[in-house]
Structure 1
């Protein structure tokens, strides 16, 4: 049985890969009401006070299309709407250029993500990730020449005719793991996190390393714990700025914690009942509810016989 998808993922969304090389189709869509345009400004989305994302129908947003540095086809939702992200990061005052309505504002998905439904969160995450990738790949990594957006914003091509290197969207794989021992699990804290927040350990996968090796290495480096019986749970897109989080459970083969003092400022073993009754205050709180870290902890907390 397929697991419930993690937040920011949406398997029902059709990314329309077969239409990305059809500029005539895209141009015809841009002038219809069923085409919805999502402005993205420096990793932020235009939202109402609710908050709900603001989008514009293609047949009433010609000026917005002209403002965009990049037009990025995202895909089609289950209602048949075609979604495009428009990067307007070059504007210094985007609110005035778009609407002039004081109640609308640009906000980072980090601050509003937990308040959105899963499908809306996934759509904004997709738009944010693609806009970020475009802004950081303006020049060819092979020859340094400017790159051009192609395939409806899903590829960039080097403009040098002697190079013509194709650049595809990239994400950074990272492992995130709940280490457990009986009715206790290992949680750590980074100094930059909100007051009291504790979470699972995580880290980026290095070249030449399997996912399981990355799990074992990160736990050893950050907390001095050896692990065994590493098992995959699920994954989550995490566009902050461009990661894919690969979730695991692992059993502790040792229990003495030695915090590295760099990635973590503290770590400890927490009983299942303690987490089930977490006070959620500045002394102790669990991670944000839109994160895979919360999903790993929640599943383990309610398991009858371990993770």
Structure 2
């Protein structure tokens, strides 16, 4: 497979980093009829039906349609600029109760009037449908909105923070300290043994039959290769030797970067930790194919790097049930 084709890594938008400090930039773009806005609410992005049945596209609205709903105090985010010069803004949509005083807009859905075809979609489900430009816009909008929602106050003194640099910095109003969006690196690994069997695990929080590659967050001061070895040993008791980097993919749920690896196991005895992982087993290609076709094993969605790692080892697509909307995995 082409690792550059990972669903959420296909970004084709200029993030316009050099423009973020332009004085008054966001005010000008909000007044620009050519600009477009991407909406995020509770980690979901606004979408509209696509030209093909059961397909969706990212909803991009002119600012003039958005301002009456969110008001003049909205915190706008510069997501990037397209090749044709169109500037794209992100906006975290407040909860409906914040708009109860707006005439003609139902309390249950503030955008029901201005955008009646709007729906809210999780990136896990629609990532493979979106164009490269829309993927870049959506992943950035979701990650930035989550960071802003969770950092209204300064971690140093607790004072309020305000948005600066086009949504890419928050400044403390008391001590002047600057705070930047964070990204949490996590390793995810396709571990194989000497017989080229693949190791998959079942997390304690998943429904029966769901299996995926092992994964975990990188600890402070830890090299990525050591993180791979540590996570596998902690979760399933298997020792890993050689580790090879494969590819990465943003995973804004809320702020992860998944770093994909292959690892070669030195041992094969499995002892799950019983806390994070409750089952783990080795699969041959025939065993995994049969289990997926029989719906005994449910694999992660095609949006995830986990699915790409599994099918890269398998040598092609696997056909069978995949994760649904209730999937709680961070991979």
Q: Could you tell me the TM-score, scaled by structure 2's length?
A: 0.83
Q: Tell me what 2:45 maps to.
A: 45
Q: How many residues align?
A: 300
Asked whether the equivalents of residues 173 and 244 of structure 1 are also in contact (C-alpha less than 8 Å), the reply is yes
1:192 matched to 2:205? The reply is yes
Residue 151 of structure 1 is matched in structure 2 by 165
Which of 114, 126, 143 lines up with 1:112 in the alignment?
126
1:1-307 alignment, distance < 5 Å = 3-49=3-49, 50-64=55-69, 66=71, 69-92=74-97, 96-100=109-113, 103-160=117-174, 163-181=175-193, 182-276=195-289, 279-280=292-293, 282-302=295-315
Q: Is the 1:180–1:252 contact (alpha carbons within 8 Å) kept by the matching residues of 2?
A: yes
Does structure 2 conserve the Cα–Cα contact (< 8 Å) formed by 1:88 and 1:94? no
CA distance in 1, matches of 2:121, 2:228: 33
Question: What is the CA–CA distance in structure 2 between the aligned matches of 1:94 and 1:236, rounded to whole Å?
Answer: 37
* Residues in 2 aligned to 1:89 and 1:281: alpha-carbon distance in whole angstroms: 44
- Secondary structure of 2:7's aligned partner: coil
CA separation of 1:64/1:75 partners in 2, compared to 1, >3 Å: closer, same or farther? farther
112-121 vs 181-190, which moves further: 112-121
Counterpart contact for 1:73–1:152, Cα < 8 Å = yes
Deviation at 1:146, TM superposition (A): 0.5
Q: Deviations over 1:192-251 (max 9, x none)?
A: 335422110001111121111111110001110000111111111001111111111110
SS in 2 for 1:32: coil
In structure 2, the gaps of 5 or more residues are 50-54, 98-105, 317-331
What's the TM-score once normalised by structure 1's chain length?
Answer: 0.89
Please tell me whether the aligned partners of residues 11 and 134 of structure 2 are also in contact (alpha carbons under 8 angstroms). no
**C-alpha RMSD over aligned residues:** 2.3
Answer yes or no: is the 8 Å Cα contact 2:25–2:166 preserved in 1: no
Q: Within 2, Cα distance between the matches of 1:202 and 1:169?
A: 23
Question: Aligned-pair distance for 1:102?
Answer: 5.6
- C-alpha displacement of 1:68: 6.2
**In structure 1, the residue corresponding to 2:201 is in which secondary structure?**
strand
Change in Cα spacing, 1:265 to 1:280, as seen in structure 2 (3 Å) is: farther
Q: Give the Cα separation in 1 of the matches to 2:142 and 2:294.
A: 30
Distance in 2 of aligned mates of 1:85 and 1:106? 15
The alpha-carbon distance between structure 1 residues 102 and 63, as it changes in their structure 2 partners (threshold 3 A), is closer
Partner Cα separation in structure 1 for residue 10 and residue 72 of structure 2: 29
Q: Which runs of 5+ in 1 are unaligned?
A: none
Structure 1 residue 145: Cα displacement = 0.7
